[in-house]
């Protein structure tokens, strides 16, 4: 064996486990994102964060998923709008997302307890799926404080008596 071919053999021996490892990581990441897609579907995120999803029986193309909604939710907390999550996940890190989900400082009707009680793995999967879709669409309208009139259509929650 020439010196060169010995070197090549040694290099490929060294390189093989490295490449195999990178492949495993990519497969794991892909599996996590696929689970995230499933979690997004079964935990109702699209129902509020995707225009026309709940009312249209879920027949919305994935490209439009989680782009936020202009339909407001009006109640004693003021008027909230489902955030554009495609843009949100493009700007926050996975670590910050886990912290925010655990802190659960979301106004109604965002199901804060559902996120708070999700496992780290599930939260990471949701992040990886939505992040992989990339940013798309416009920002949702800004929060409107109680007592101020929202500009567009809203779902009205009953006000507390009195």
Of positions 52, 104, 109, 150, contacts ligand HEC by CB under 6 A: 109
CB of 109 to ligand HEC, least distance (A): 4
Nearest to 144 by CA among 135, 153, 132: 153
Using CB under 6 A as the binding rule, whether residue 73 contacts ligand HEC is answered as yes
Of 1-9, 55-63, 79-87, 131-139, the segment contacting ligand HEC by CB under 6 A is 79-87
CB of 158 to ligand HEC, least distance (A): 16
Coil vs helix vs strand at 74: strand
- Locus of tokens 């407001």: 72
Contact (CB, 8 A) for 36 and 126: yes
Could you give the count of Cα atoms lying within 13 Å of 10 in the half-sphere of its Cβ? 7
Size of the site for ligand HEC (CB under 6 A): 22
CB of 159 to ligand HEC, least distance (A): 17
**How far apart, in whole angstroms, are the C-alpha atoms of residue 107 and residue 76?**
10
Nearer to ligand HEC, 28 or 99 (CB): 99
Tell me which residues in 128-157 interact with ligand HEC (CB under 6 A): 143
Segment holding 11, helix H or strand E: helix 3-42
Using CB under 6 A as the binding rule, whether residue 41 contacts ligand HEC is answered as no
Nearer to ligand HEC, 29 or 98 (CB): 98
Query: Residues 6 or more apart from 46 whose CB is under 8 A from it?
Result: 40, 53, 54, 58, 60, 65, 66
- Residue numbers at the binding site for ligand HEC (CB under 6 A): 43-45, 47-49, 73, 80-83, 85, 88, 106-107, 109-111, 114-115, 126, 143
């Amino acid at each position: 064996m020439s010196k060169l071919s010995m070197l090549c053999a040694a290099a490929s021996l060294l390189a093989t486990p490295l490449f195999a490892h990178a492949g495993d990581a990519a497969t794991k990441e892909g599996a996590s994102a696929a689970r995230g897609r499933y979690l997004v579907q079964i935990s109702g995120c699209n129902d509020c964060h995707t225009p026309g999803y709940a009312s249209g029986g879920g027949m919305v193309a994935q490209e439009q998923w989680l782009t936020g909604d202009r339909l407001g939710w009006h109640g004693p907390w003021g008027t909230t709008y489902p955030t554009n999550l495609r843009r949100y996940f493009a700007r926050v890190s996975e670590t910050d997302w886990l912290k925010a989900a655990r802190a659960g400082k979301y106004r109604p009707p965002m199901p804060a307890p559902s996120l708070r009680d999700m496992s780290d793995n599930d939260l990471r999967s949701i992040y990886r799926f939505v992040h992989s879709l990339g940013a798309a669409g416009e920002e949702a309208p800004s929060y409107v404080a109680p007592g101020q009139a929202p500009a567009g259509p809203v779902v009205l929650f009953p006000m507390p008596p009195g």
